[in-house]
Each structure stands twice: as C-alpha cells, then as structure tokens.
Amino acid sequence: MSGMPESGPIRALVVDDSGFMRIALRKIIEADGDIRVVGEARNGREAIRLAQELKPDVVTMDIVMPEMDGIEATRRIVKEVAPAPRVVMVSASTQEGADATLKALRAGAADFISKSTSFADTDLGSLDAELRQRLRQWRAAPSRSPRSPVQDKPEAMPEAAPGTPADLVVIAASTGGPVALPVLLSAMGVIEPPVVIAQHMPEVFTRSLADHLASEIGLDVREGAMHARIAPRTVTIIPGGQDAVVAFGRTGSFELRPGVGPGLVHPSGDLLLQSAALTARAPVAVILTGMGSDGTGGAAAFRRRGRPVLVQTPESCVVGGMPSAAIAAGVATEILDLERIGRKLAMLSRGSAPSQE
C-alpha cells in the first residue's frame, strides 16, 4: 500500500485558491463521515508545506493558483512527501484545463475530476457525485498492484490464420492511461493497421490527449469523429464521454459509429473490443492500466475467435484493476510491460511469427 492506514477516516488535504471552493469541497468530502479534511491550502507552496506536516492520504488539487500552480505542487509533493499521498486534480472542463490536467498527470497526479471554469458555472452536483467515490477508490487502491496469482504467460490461444498481419488494433485504458500510452505508442512506432483507443475521459480532454501524444511521439494521433474514416497508420482516440463502435464504411475502410456501452464508464472499452472482434479480419486487443474491469467482456469476444489479447502487467500499472480482471477471466493471451506490448504490436502488424518474449 502507499502508506495509507487500513482503517479510520481517509485524511484529505484540500488545495484551491478560492475560499468558496475550499468550503464547498470540505462539505462535499466530509458529507458521509468517512473522509476528513485535515487541512486547506490556498496555493501550491502552502500545499507542499501542509502535505509534509499533515501526511494526508489524498490531496484534491486545483491547477491555476498564485505563487505556485497545481502542476508544480503535484510534482513536488509526489517527489518530496513520504509516504506520497494520492493527488486528485480538480480541473476545469475547457481545452486549457484539459491541457493542464494532462501535464499534472505526467507530473504524478493519480486522477482528475473535471469542473466548470467560472464561479457561477462550477458543477458542485457533479463534484458531489464523483469526488467522494474517487477518494475512496484511491484509499483502497495500492500504489502498484500486486502480481497476479496466475502465471505470467498463460497458454497461448490458437490464432485465426497464423501469420496474417493485424488489420486493426484496439486499446482500452483508464486511470494511468495518459502516462502509459506514450510509452506503448513510442515502442510501437508507425504501423500499417489503424489503432483505436477507448481512454476513459470526459469531453474535451481526449482532444488534448491526442494533441499531446502527437507532439510527444511524432505519430499521427487524432481525436476521432463519428462516421469519419479511420485511416491506416493513424492512432484514433474515441471522443471523451462518448461510446463508439468500429464498423465498415462505404469505402470498405473502418469508421467510428455511435454506440451505447454496457457500463458506466465512457468511452467503453468493452464496446470497442466487441465491435472490433465482430468487424475486423485480424484484430488485436490491448488492455492497459485502470480501475474496474472494462475491456474484459470485449476481450472475451477475441478469445472466442482465437485473436490476441495483450494485457499490461498489473504491477506496472498505476491501478491494475482492468488488467487483473482480464487475467482472472482467462482472456489474456500475453501479459507484458508497455514497451513489450508496443514491440509485439509492431510485430503482429507485419504478420511476424509470435516471439518467445
């Protein structure tokens, strides 16, 4: 565990330059009695000092603040406070807020919750519905998931048409995905089949994620659009807050179409994987870091077809719930770290024989 106590109330530090928001967040956080606000900070410098003094379990962090912003404060807290608390960004639901949130995640923030930008538009109802649940999840989640009790290399499932190059790669990711994806995609490089990603994120944030990935790794990464062609040698991220399926378009190429996933998280990894297994001739599925079990149901459709399902090693995840669920369900064909997943995707896109990594 990350040093959090096994029992007793969760101890939270609230960081926001708005006095109104600090009061509102305290009321929201303490509403059920199992989470206690042990301190409040008005800027990043105060946040670092109080985190060192109070040793909170979790920190809710604003981004834009005087003296020191939430990104730098997060970087310092994660590096300098032991045991390191989990930092949850409370971020504006704008393009600027999305850009800053991604930087905070790269700086070590564990998670984020979106809010509106202005005092009048702040969606306290949405925060009330999500914030306590997220903080409880981080109390329960270890800093790195323990190794799965199953073997690291389960018996390989038979592949349909061995040696056939992959024609579609689909990826399901949640918490930790914005940090994991650049590692995987950099190791993969440019491949011929299109790559489609269901990353759990709200609207607006996926556009920023696509821009960041394109800039950082040099691949053609774009936010998808419904009924638009999914071109080869591109990485498409399903728009945030929406579910989508992969289907054949009029030109015979893949395209995204609106769908309704089976769960409460969006975009739905299960729905994406299920549609890929039904549509593509030689698809490959990937399940990355995240809470919950999204992706496992869709991966079962790959198993029935004998197609590869590459799963991130749970111990390398920010949260290993999604990979662990796939492993426990017996749908993972290989369990690899991010770089090895990337290299395996490059190999499968060429139709190379499976490696013995």
Q: Which residue among the candidates 266, 294, 324, 349 is catalytic per the annotation?
A: 294
Question: Which amino acid appears at position 145 of this protein?
Answer: S
Measured between alpha carbons, how far is 47 from 53 in angstroms, rounded to an integer? 10
Contact 12, 56 (CB under 8 A): yes
Instruction: List Cα–Cα distances, 164 to 154, 273, 286, 287, 352, in angstroms.
Output: 22, 19, 18, 22, 8
Measured between alpha carbons, how far is 303 from 332 in angstroms, rounded to an integer? 8
Measured between alpha carbons, how far is 10 from 90 in angstroms, rounded to an integer? 18
Measured between alpha carbons, how far is 194 from 234 in angstroms, rounded to an integer? 5
Give a three-class secondary structure readout of 4-59: CCCCCCEEEEEECCCHHHHHHHHHHHCCCCCEEEEEEECCHHHHHHHHHHHCCCEE
220 catalytically annotated: no
Q: Which residue among the candidates 200, 208, 266, 293 is catalytic per the annotation?
A: 200
CA 150 to chain centre: 24
Through-space distance between the first and last CA atoms of the chain, rounded to whole angstroms: 30
Tokens for 43, please give them.
Answer: 């800027």
Instruction: List Cα–Cα distances, 225 to 208, 258, 265, in angstroms.
Output: 15, 10, 19
Contact 304, 157 (CB under 8 A): no
200 catalytically annotated: yes
294 catalytically annotated: yes
Collapsing DSSP to helix, strand or coil, 194 comes out as coil
Contacts of 301 (CB under 8 A, 6+ apart): 273, 274, 277, 278
Q: Which residue among the candidates 93, 174, 275, 349 is catalytic per the annotation?
A: 174
Which residues are marked as active site? 174, 200, 294
